[in-house]
Structure 1
Amino acid sequence: MSVREIRLFGDPVLRSACRAVTDLESVRGLVEDLLETTKLPGRAGVAANQIGVDLRVFSYNVHGEVGYLINPEIIDLQGDPQLTEEGCLSLPGLWHKTPRYPIATARGQQLDGSIVEVSGTGLMAQALQHECDHLDGKVYIDRLLPEERKLAFRALREQSWFMAN
């Protein structure tokens, strides 16, 4: 197990939809690395493509609840989308009001092949939506309302890490 480096916005792996996992045993090491990478402070979740792997797997760590989903899909969203402050490890230093549903449920597999559902409100709902977006090749700024999106891209261009990318 190891903590893996986070890919930054501009890396093509973040903009491509990830492939489904067909051999669960082959991703055991990936799951372990995702869990280790997510355990660092300030991390609610990490998607596989954020560490350079184009497979549909993510880990989460929200209020002490740590886990992962393989081949996840959002199966239920409830309530009206609310503007919530959101950031991303792949866009460090940027935070923007992002429309997210207040209640979300995702379904996915575990390494033993079992199917599990993870539901949550608040940060958990946000993390489930955020990580599934990553696996679809989207980042949170893709969800911003037009005026907020303009602000986000202006702020993005001012980031020293972005110009170096």
Structure 2
Amino acid sequence: MALRIRKYPDPILRRRAQEISVIDDEIKRLADAMIETMVLAKGYGLAAPQVGVLKRIITIDVEDDFYALINPEIIKKSDETEVWVEGCLSIPGVEAEFARPAKVTVRALDPDGNEVLLERAGLAARVLQHEIDHLDGVLFIDYLSQTKRLMLLKEYERLQKEGPKARKDTRVF
């Protein structure tokens, strides 16, 4: 069942998600619903706070990577950075270019409770960082200068007033 994606400035997007201590059927159903929501929304990833749930779970769909991660944490970031354009399902229609570490190592649990260690570069690294940021109440706009952020939010407000037809139909984080 697809879930409603929360849109900026919904306050839940700024809250820190809670660690998951027990992976039960409810968490597995949430992971499945998040995957369905992410795919229907044409997202590369989705974090539980984006669907109104303050739990540390993300879903990813990048190239050959398609999975749910529980309690993900970045344990290593490269010093090398890459500049990419990012958007967000919770701030639809706007994007911005900025640098993030080019490679990351992430430790997490899969929906069966098995520990996984992922080393990713490129787009997959970017999406992992973006979604894990959501778990800490951090949005991609927080990486922008104040001027750039204000311009982007002004454009976002304009698009919200004009409705969904004014937005680009591109795949985002």
What secondary structure is seen at the aligned counterpart in 2 of 1:20? coil
Mapping of 1:1-165 within 5 angstroms? 2-25=1-24, 26-40=26-40, 42-160=42-160
Contact 2:72 2:132 in 1 (8 A): yes
Q: Post-superposition shift, 1:83?
A: 2.3
Contact 1:84 1:97 in 2 (8 A): yes
Paired letter, 2:48: A
Per mean C-alpha deviation after superposition, the further-off stretch among 143-152 and 2-11 is: 143-152
Q: Post-superposition shift, 1:141?
A: 0.3
Per mean C-alpha deviation after superposition, the further-off stretch among 104-113 and 67-76 is: 104-113
What secondary structure is seen at the aligned counterpart in 2 of 1:68? strand
- Rounded to whole Å, the distance in 2 between the matches of 1:40 and 1:119 is 27
Q: Post-superposition shift, 1:93?
A: 0.3
- Aligned CA-pair RMSD: 1.9
Contact 2:58 2:70 in 1 (8 A): yes
What stretches of structure 2 of length at least 5 have no aligned partner?
164-173
What secondary structure is seen at the aligned counterpart in 2 of 1:113? coil
Structure 1 length normalisation: TM-score?
0.89
Give aligned-pair identity as a percent.
Answer: 33
Per mean C-alpha deviation after superposition, the further-off stretch among 85-94 and 116-125 is: 116-125
**Alpha carbons of structure 1 residues 83 and 114: separation in structure 2 relative to 1, 3 Å:** same
Paired letter, 2:138: K
Runs of 4+ in structure 1 off by over 6 angstroms are none
Q: Post-superposition shift, 1:146?
A: 4.0
Contact 1:77 1:101 in 2 (8 A): yes
What stretches of structure 1 of length at least 5 have no aligned partner?
none
